[in-house]
Structure 1
Amino acid sequence: MRRLLAFLALCAGFNAFTHAADPITLGLSYPRTGSYKEEGLSQMRGALLAIDELNAQGGVLGRSLRLSSLDDASRPKKAERNVDKLAKEGVSMLFGGASSAVAIAASKRAAEHRLLYFGTLTYSNDTTGKDGHRFMFRECNNAWMSAQVLGQYLNKQLPNKRYFYITSDYTWGHTTESSLRQTTNTQDTALHPSLKVPFPGASLASYQTALTQAAASDAQVLALVLFGEDLVRAMRIAKDLGLTERMQIVAPNLTQSIVEQAGPGLMEGVVGTEPWTWRVPELENSALGKAFVKAYSERYAMYPSSSAASAYSIVQQWADAAKRAGSLDSEALIKALEGHSYTLLKDRQQWRSFDHQNVQTVYAVKVKPRAEVLKDPLKQDYFEIVERLDGGNGLPDLATWQAERRNAGQPLALQ
């Protein structure tokens, strides 16, 4: 009997050890197809680099990490199904998305599974505003932060100009246009008109019609509140109509992938914002940021984009929180993340407690002339940083956040 008990205890110990040694799975729901697929590919690359680095350091809580990924095609319903599949697979957390509508829908579904969801490219104010909840953490900046730094630059360089807005018809487009109108004092829609184009699935005819109306206006600034391939298509039509020559083009959220798809010649002079570029570690004297740029460039033969940096940072920050909490439990991780301040790929950042928005520096950028871009060894030195906004300056405070939640009929604290 004693031998039997000893044998059973040995088996139980072996099973516990085997279970503890099982890899931890992270779930990435990202656009592998659709208008934002290039941003999605960058997320995948950044995430894999972070996972490999963490595994080389011994993993998290003694266990290695693995990635399980599914294509959301930038469609909210598909993203919700992805969350269900990944939760059933047993993932410990979820991240991804390049559309705010996707991030909002996927994060709410993740909350039903009691899983954390980290938004990568989700710039809508609503993500951590009226649609925010305890299980959502947004790594990138919001639309208001972009508008603040962009407004600072435009008001100095192009004061009192007339704007024409062409906007993606979903939450990111709406809150981005609204925020930029406030910071540039262009709220008068009679003086500064706007047209909406469908998302997803806008046709070339939609862009042609909208841009033809912009060409017929007396606007001096064309604000293209579009993203990914949608922005690229619109820029090609704008070029054909001569708008790139006679109007300042503003694209509130730029990425390296967008310039690559369109070509620096077409995008030359376009002004927008980025939360990170591969030049930022030099500007902010970030040793870890410089190491990331070096590792990513050697691995993929290209510079990392803000999309890649966001996914990399999310994996690293989740891992850091798990180590500090000594747990993979979502409630323990929320406590570890809320209010946590850190430096990683640039200067100091913080996960704000009351809304889970990442407080960070944001940059206004201008696409360099093609001749300058081509001087770089990898031909990817696209952006000149023309304005800088320190972390907390561009964010609404608690009272403003609560007022927005109250107006939307939402609780005044994250649930």
Structure 2
Amino acid sequence: MARVILLCCLLCNCLGASLQAESLKIGLNYPRTGNYKDEGLELRRGALLAVEQINRSGGVLDRPLELLSENTASRAEQARRNVERFASQGARMVFGGATSEEAIAAGQRARELGLLYFATLSYANEVTGAAGQRYLFRESNSAWMSARVLGEYLAIHLPGRHFHYILIDDAWGRSMESALRLATRSTDRARHGRTALPRGPLSREQYRSALAKAAASDADVLVLVLLGENLQRSMRLVHNMGLKQRMQIIVPNLSKSVVQQAGPLVMEGVIGTEAWTWDLPRQDNNPAGLQFVERYIREYREYPGSSSASAYSIVMQWADAVRRSGSLDSERLIGALEDHSYSLLKDQQRWRGFDHQNVQSIYAVRVRSRDEVMNDPFKQHYFEIIHRMAGDQAAPSLDDWQQERGEALHLQ
């Protein structure tokens, strides 16, 4: 009889442990296909490393973390549907995306379902500006922040130049163009020309026509407000047309994957911005950042990019907020996140309370020469940091934010 009782107790303990070990699910919206698929791969890799690290440390609230992921193909409506799917599977938070339209649409649907949404790779000012809301946080920097650091660098090193802008006519393209024109004092469109390309698949002839217009101008600075495959294809044409010999090429938001796909010969000398580079933890002697880089190299045999770092940081920060608040309730998590400062993969960052923008240092970078890149063991040491700006200096002020918001002076 005693043996039966003992077996029953052991069985109950096992069942209890099983129930306790029910996973906490989080959902990753990422582009597995389409224009930004390379950035999407990096997002997923960074998220997986964070989930693995958290689970090795005991999980969240004594429960293992489980990553759900769905392809958005960089489409806003698909991102919305994915949020619904994640919610039906029991996800407690959703993050990701590669366009500002995705972030706004998916963030709004997450809010309707009571879920927090953390945006990645969404740079339009309106994400945390005009379209900002309580359930939406953005880890990536805004167009305003990139423009501020670039504007300061260009004012010092390339003053009085003529600009020409080529952009995709979407939320980020328009936002970035407007912010950079203000920062570089190139608002006069008669003097500083532009070509706005339509959203969606573009032909080689459309890229070539836009670049021919830039070449025929008197511009000595060419700004390509492009991302993903759009940028890769344009840069190959820039290289083949010899435009780099007479123009400084500016790509406001650079990424490791773009340089990797286009090639260092095509991209060398291009100036842009990054929120993080794999070499930054070494420069700043950041132990957690160094550990992340080492783990990523060990797992994937290449350097992590800023997209991986962003996804990793979001998962780690959400888990930290759950632990600090002792809750999975979205409203309590908002309270734990707002104005919370932390240092993880770089110097201090802060989830700003009034707009939920992550305020962090932003870096102007230049793509190294092909010879320098090829001398690196992984042939991926792409970026040289040429200028830094603190997050509080780069981010829009409360007054700027309220001007953009109009009557809605608080997040709803």
- Does the alignment reach a TM-score above 0.5? yes
Aligned 1:295-334 pairs, distance under 5 A: 295-334=295-334
Aligned to 1:265: 265
Is residue 2:207 matched to residue 1:207?
Answer: yes
Alignment partner, residue 390 of structure 2: 390
Letter in 2 for 1:177: E
Q: CA offsets per residue over residues 71-92 of structure 1, 9 Å max, x none? A: 0011101111111111111101
Name the structure 2 match of 1:142.
Answer: 142
SS at structure 2 position matched to 1:92: strand
The Cα of 1:128 is off from its aligned counterpart by: 0.3
1:288 corresponding residue in structure 2: 288
Q: CA separation in 1, counterparts of 2:81 and 2:405? A: 27
Matches within 5 A, 1:81-230: 81-230=81-230
Counterpart residue number, 2:411: 414
Paired residue secondary structure (2:43): helix
The 5 A counterparts of 1:29-40 are 29-40=29-40
Q: How far off is 1:16 after superposition?
A: 7.3
Q: 1 CA distance for matches of 2:309 and 2:165?
A: 29
Decide whether the 8 Å contact of 1:285 with 1:346 is kept in 2.
Answer: no
Deviation at 1:101, TM superposition (A): 1.1
CA distance in 2, matches of 1:240, 1:265: 11
Q: Which consecutive aligned stretches of 4+ in structure 1 deviate over 3 angstroms post-superposition? A: 10-20
Q: How many residues align?
A: 403
Q: Shift of residue 14 of structure 1?
A: 8.7
Q: 1:209 Cα deviation (Å)?
A: 1.2
Is 1:243 matched with 2:243? yes
Percentage of identical aligned residues: 54
1:204-230, Cα deviation, whole Å (9 max, x unpaired): 222111111111111000000000111
CA distance in 2, matches of 1:15, 1:172: 50
Residue 374 of structure 1: how far off its partner (Å): 0.9
- For residue 202 of structure 1, report the CA deviation from its aligned partner: 2.4
How much does 1:258 deviate? 0.3
Aligned to 1:79: 79
Whether 1:28 aligns to 2:25 is: no
> Cα RMSD (Å) of the superposition?
1.6
**Deviations for 1:116-148, whole angstroms, at most 9, x for unmatched residues?**
000111111111000000011101111111011
Distance in 2, Cα, partners of 1:247 & 1:301: 35
Tell me, in whole angstroms, the C-alpha distance in 2 between the residues paired with 1:313 and 1:165: 32
> Deviation of residue 158 (structure 1)?
1.1
- Render the CA deviation track for 1:21-68: whole Å, top value 9, x for unaligned: 210111001000011110000000000000000000000000001111
Report how far residue 17 of structure 1 moved: 6.1
Q: Distance in 2 between matches of 1:11 and 1:199?
A: 59
Give the whole-Å Cα distance in 2 for the aligned partners of 1:186 and 1:115.
41
TM-score scaled to structure 2, two decimals? 0.95
Give the structure-1-normalised TM-score: 0.95
Amino acid across the alignment from 1:83: V
The correspondence of residues 299-378 of structure 1 with structure 2, limited to 5 A, is: 299-378=299-378
Task: Give me the whole-angstrom Cα distance separating, in 2, the residues matched to 1:170 and 1:20.
Answer: 46
Separation in 1 of the partners of 2:216 and 2:242?
Answer: 11
Partner SS, residue 35 of structure 1: coil
Structure 1 CA distance, aligned partners of 2:74 and 2:12? 45
